[in-house]
């Protein structure tokens, strides 16, 4: 056989082998877990009056999970509202007095010094009123923040709170309820050298406990120091993986 033809056939064979190798499906071990785990707390201190959820419970966004005793916060709100009521008439009268003083000054009946004194009096009373309004807003927020509401649809993983517990958040927020987004995802860790051909948005197959579901790679992270990478895989059919948190999975991709 002609040596040139033989060399050509060898080259084509090697090329086909490389193409086949690059097109081979990859696979890696992973695990199913709850998405976006977090410890929820409150921005205010107080005493827990009621705990409305328990571990394993699913909670809708906006649902109240925990309440503090609001008697102190409501009393502070009432006091702030009373101060606002007390300061407003004096501030309004000072404003009218300023308008009269400016009119008299324009008619050269009032001196510059007298006008400035009226302005100072109005500024002081106006500042006191604004501080009172701010105190009302702040006290109202303390009442509002005395309830811990679900920030999204979630599942309760662990409840650290009990009725009667004192919550002190002066320096650091106290973790009260550990939650996760009510959605299972798969995570895979693999050597960085195996990232070839893997990209965000790629469709994959997730197999566990004799079942197979479709998934999509939504995050690809890389640790340069450890030469390692991690994949986060969304699973569209959540019913197919219901109750499978913690299950090992096999993820395959083309």
pLDDT at 14: 36
Q: What is the pTM of this model?
A: 0.72
pLDDT at 132: 96
CATH topology of domain 25-68+150-253: Elongation Factor Tu (Ef-tu); domain 3 (2.40.30)
- Distance between terminal CA atoms of the chain? 38
* Mean pLDDT for the stretch of residues 46-70: 96
pLDDT at 173: 86
* Mean pLDDT for the stretch of residues 142-162: 96
Q: Please, what CATH class does the domain formed by 71-145 belong to? A: mainly alpha
pLDDT at 196: 76
* Mean pLDDT for the stretch of residues 207-224: 91
DSSP state at residue 174: P
* Span 187-213, pLDDT tens digits: 999 888 887 778 899 999 999 998 999
- Look-up: residue for tokens 């860790």? 189
Please say if the pLDDT value at position 160 is more than 90: yes
Characterize 77-90 residue by residue with b for buried, 16 or more Cβ atoms within 10 angstroms of its Cβ, and e for exposed: beebbebbeebeeb
pLDDT at 25: 62
- Look-up: residue for tokens 């939650």? 179
Sheet holding 166-167, edge to edge: 147-149, 64-68, 46-51, 166-167
Q: Locate the domains of the chain by residue range.
A: 25-68+150-253, 71-145
């Amino acid at each position: 056989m002609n040596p040139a033809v033989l060399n050509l056939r060898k080259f084509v064979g090697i090329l086909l082998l490389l193409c086949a190798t690059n097109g081979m499906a990859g696979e890696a071990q992973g695990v199913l877990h709850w998405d976006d785990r977090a410890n929820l707390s409150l921005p205010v201190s107080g005493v827990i009056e009621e705990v409305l959820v328990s571990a394993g419970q699913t909670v809708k966004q906006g649902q109240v999970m925990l309440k503090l005793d609001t008697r102190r916060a409501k009393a502070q709100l009432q006091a702030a509202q009373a101060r606002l009521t007390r300061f407003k008439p004096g501030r309004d009268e000072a404003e009218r007095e300023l308008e009269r003083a400016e009119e008299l000054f324009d008619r050269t009946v009032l001196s510059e010094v007298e006008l400035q004194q009226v302005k100072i009096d109005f500024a002081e009373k106006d500042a006191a009123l604004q501080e009172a309004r701010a105190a009302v807003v702040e006290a109202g927020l303390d009442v509002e923040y005395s309830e811990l509401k679900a920030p999204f649809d979630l599942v309760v993983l662990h409840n650290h709170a009990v009725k009667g517990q004192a919550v002190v958040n002066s320096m650091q927020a106290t973790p009260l309820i550990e939650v996760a987004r009510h959605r299972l995802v798969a995570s895979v860790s693999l050597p960085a050298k195996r990232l070839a051909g893997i990209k965000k948005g790629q469709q994959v197959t997730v197999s566990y406990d004799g079942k197979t579901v479709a998934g999509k790679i939504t995050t690809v992270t890389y640790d340069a120091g450890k030469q390692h990478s991690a994949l986060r895989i969304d699973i569209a059919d959540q019913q197919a993986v219901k109750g499978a948190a913690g299950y090992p999975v096999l993820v395959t991709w083309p």
